[in-house]
Structure 1
Amino acid sequence: MIVRSLPDSEASKAGSFEDPILNVAMTTIGVVGAGAAAAAATYVIDRAIEDAEVTVLEKSGGLCGRAATRRQGPVSYDYGANYLKDDDPRVTELLTETIDADGLVDTRGPIYAYEADGEIGPGRDSDGHKWSYEAGLTQIAKRLLGRTDATIHRNTRVETIHREGKRWRLTDTDGTSWGPFDVLVVNPPAPQTAELLRTADWDDPLREDLSEAIDAVPYRSVWTAILHYPFEQDRPYYAVINTDDEHEIGWVAREECKPGHVPDGESLLVVQAGQDWSARHFERDAETNVAELIDLTADLLDDDRLREPDWTDHQGWRYALPDDAVRQGPLDSAAEEHDLYFVGDWIPGEARLHAALRNGLDTGEQLVYRLSD
């Protein structure tokens, strides 16, 4: 089982998570966003509620949010979240035993560290698993949602949330209406979720309290450059990380350390700029940003060959990393009074993929318990 055992009082109401719950009436559930947390919550709901109808609306063409993967020819690369740690036993069991583990790979090599002076050396404990898939981290959401009967609509950006009596309705940017839903689950980063609440067609004092609490979650932006080279690099580490936040570059990872991602004889660096650099240059043109990060990377790794990648890619993550947890009281009230749930790594305030998945599992269970009560 991937979920915690229930007390006898709860188990008698909710049933087993290995079998559908039989005493929950037909329930329609709307999910805004298809990130890792939403995928985990949807998986729990679908497994536990026999007659649930789940509709997922995702603004982009992909799945799994900031756990994002791209391909260029034979090369695959995770350009948002770098890997999944094995820090949570329930998430570990989910990936290795519950869903299909075919293609799950462990990143090779330790993580070294450096400070403002750029001197790289051992110094970070990285003995645990650093998982991805041969096809990239997006496989997490694809495999979770693929084991459900949820209906997923990509390239569908929710613009307005409506409260109609005791049910929810959604309007997208094309003017299409979705719902009504008995339950609503909201997955975007905290600033985008707060904006959806501020503009919601919902006349309730809780709306303002929710939007203020969620908007208070601090976020860091990250600007990422992808640098590919037609030669191998011989280094003793998978990645290097800046530990004092005083360097222009915050992280450099070698994607060839993930089996199946980069062909032999090639290398690919995922370069994530530091917080201050990202904030200063987020709106600058991408070509200039990539060129500057190329030189900074060559200097940091002390290799002039790195000044001439044969191709590059880039991504700006405006809402990349939450720095604190949300105030929980308003979220609890929304769930108890209005069947409104929020999921994401910003709930626990831990910018890690395993934290997002754990939050999705926990929230899915909370939702099921409430519906079965």
Structure 2
Amino acid sequence: MTRIGFVGAGAGAAAAAYALRNADADLTVVEKSGGVCGRAATRRRGDYEYVYDYGANYVKSDDERVSRLLTEDLDSEGLVDVTEPVWTFDAEGTISEGQDADEHKWSYERGLTQIAKRLLGTTDATVHRRTRVETVRRNTDRTWTLLDDEGESYGPFDRLVLNPPAPQTAELLRDAEWDRDLRTDLASEAASVSYRTIVTAVLGYDTALDREWYALVNVDKNHDIGWLAREECKDGHVPDGESLLVVQLSPEWSRERYDDDTESVCTSVADATADLLGEPHLTDPDWTDHQGWRYALPDEGADTDLLDQAAEYGLHFTGDWVAGEARLHTALRNGLETGERIGDGL
């Protein structure tokens, strides 16, 4: 039986594990956080009274295979499709109709993390949460071992899949105990992938916000707000008669305010939201939350020809920075294809 290790339980890794579910393989996933699915993250308030996707907002139906995965191959119970459109606004705050009325925008009643949970749930993978990998070691017998920040080891693995964002993958490779020039080249390539930093503010109101759109996106990249979505458009996320706004700030704003506390961030964002929508009462939300994503969106992809050279040593990479597009459906597609390539080589 082939032993396969995964660093990170993001969408790409979960999809790769899913693709290997019928292989003669033992799967082990090591994840630093308490949840799965990476930036496709969900929080809840109360006993699922409020559910909100505060990283990625939904899965687009731009990839036929991923669409089939969500609607046919996986358990589709609780899958929700946002039918309201995404509109646009500019630097002056002028709101205009968008063009995506016919696109599917999928989440789940219990949030986007259900994707990774359902993918991994089809496998016999062992998932170690709240476990931060510090060292990747190449052993003399050509296997791989992982060491966490408390000195615990995982492995050995015949194949290893790295799923963290490119800067964190670069750090693992730079510190890896692997005496190969390729290690340095891979680390340099991963480090060259630039990322946009995004801060998300969540604003809850006990009154409804009646609009024709689900979300607004800033099209000229010249506004403090980059994205604003009404989470109540997703079935099961918000109690009737209430509104929950997920507001993602521009990369410039996010870098400047990344270390600010929740109250400061949400007060500023509530003011900007009220101004954009022309609703003064939005300056005073009933409750708030916020999260910073230092490595939110890759601006480009890596040199996949170079990354592919690592497969000779049983080392593989997956995620949106490998796929070259900062979209959840591309990370899922890349994970499926990565898992299939590994399976074909077993």
TM tier, smaller = over 0.9
Residue of structure 1 in register with 2:68 after alignment: 93
* 2:222 is aligned with 1:246: yes
Please tell me the residue identity of whatever aligns with 1:114.
F
* 2:6 is aligned with 1:42: no
Q: Where has structure 1 moved over 4 Å in runs of 4 or more? A: none
* 2:327 is aligned with 1:352: yes
Residue of structure 2 in register with 1:59 after alignment: 32
Residue of structure 1 in register with 2:211 after alignment: 235
Residue of structure 2 in register with 1:81 after alignment: 56
Root-mean-square deviation (CA, aligned residues, Å) is 0.9
Measured in 2, the distance between the counterparts of 1:120 and 1:87 equals: 25
* 1:39-98 deviations in Å (ceiling 9; x for gaps): 000011122x1x311000010000100000010020100000000001101111111111
Measured in 2, the distance between the counterparts of 1:91 and 1:77 equals: 22
Measured in 2, the distance between the counterparts of 1:182 and 1:43 equals: 18
Q: 1:283: Cα distance to partner?
A: 2.2
Q: Match for 2:199 among 218, 223, 245?
A: 223
Residue of structure 1 in register with 2:266 after alignment: 290
Q: Match for 1:278 among 232, 251, 254?
A: 254
Q: Match for 1:331 among 295, 300, 307?
A: 307
3-state DSSP of counterpart to 2:321: coil
Instruction: Determine if contact 2:83/2:101 at 8 Å carries over to the other structure.
Output: no
Q: How does 1:92-241 map to 2 (within 5 A)?
A: 92-165=67-140, 166-241=142-217
* 2:342 is aligned with 1:367: yes
3-state DSSP of counterpart to 1:191: helix
Instruction: Determine if contact 1:58/1:156 at 8 Å carries over to the other structure.
Output: yes
Measured in 1, the distance between the counterparts of 2:331 and 2:304 equals: 16
Measured in 1, the distance between the counterparts of 2:101 and 2:174 equals: 41
Instruction: Determine if contact 1:225/1:271 at 8 Å carries over to the other structure.
Output: yes
Residue of structure 2 in register with 1:267 after alignment: 243
Please list every run of 5 or more consecutive structure 2 residues that lacks an aligned counterpart in the other structure. Answer: none
Q: 1:346: Cα distance to partner?
A: 0.6
Residue of structure 2 in register with 1:71 after alignment: 44
3-state DSSP of counterpart to 1:234: coil
Instruction: Determine if contact 1:113/1:124 at 8 Å carries over to the other structure.
Output: no
* 2:291 is aligned with 1:315: yes
Measured in 2, the distance between the counterparts of 1:118 and 1:279 equals: 22
3-state DSSP of counterpart to 1:347: helix
Measured in 1, the distance between the counterparts of 2:261 and 2:109 equals: 32
Q: Match for 2:282 among 306, 309, 326?
A: 306
3-state DSSP of counterpart to 1:60: coil
3-state DSSP of counterpart to 1:161: strand
Measured in 1, the distance between the counterparts of 2:51 and 2:333 equals: 26
Q: 1:124: Cα distance to partner?
A: 3.4
Please list every run of 5 or more consecutive structure 1 residues that lacks an aligned counterpart in the other structure. Answer: 1-25
Instruction: Determine if contact 2:83/2:104 at 8 Å carries over to the other structure.
Output: no
Please tell me the residue identity of whatever aligns with 1:140.
I
Measured in 1, the distance between the counterparts of 2:235 and 2:89 equals: 26
Q: 1:174: Cα distance to partner?
A: 1.1
Q: Give the structure-1-normalised TM-score.
A: 0.91
Please tell me the residue identity of whatever aligns with 2:37.
C
Measured in 2, the distance between the counterparts of 1:113 and 1:317 equals: 23
3-state DSSP of counterpart to 1:46: coil
Please tell me the residue identity of whatever aligns with 1:64.
C
Q: 1:126: Cα distance to partner?
A: 3.9
Matched length: 343
Q: Report the identity percentage.
A: 60
Measured in 2, the distance between the counterparts of 1:155 and 1:275 equals: 28
Instruction: Determine if contact 2:41/2:55 at 8 Å carries over to the other structure.
Output: yes
Instruction: Determine if contact 1:245/1:275 at 8 Å carries over to the other structure.
Output: no
Please tell me the residue identity of whatever aligns with 1:167.
T
CA pair 126-350 structure 1, distance change in 2 beyond 3 A: farther
Q: 1:125: Cα distance to partner?
A: 2.6
Measured in 1, the distance between the counterparts of 2:231 and 2:262 equals: 21
Measured in 2, the distance between the counterparts of 1:347 and 1:126 equals: 29
Measured in 1, the distance between the counterparts of 2:122 and 2:14 equals: 10
Measured in 2, the distance between the counterparts of 1:233 and 1:286 equals: 23
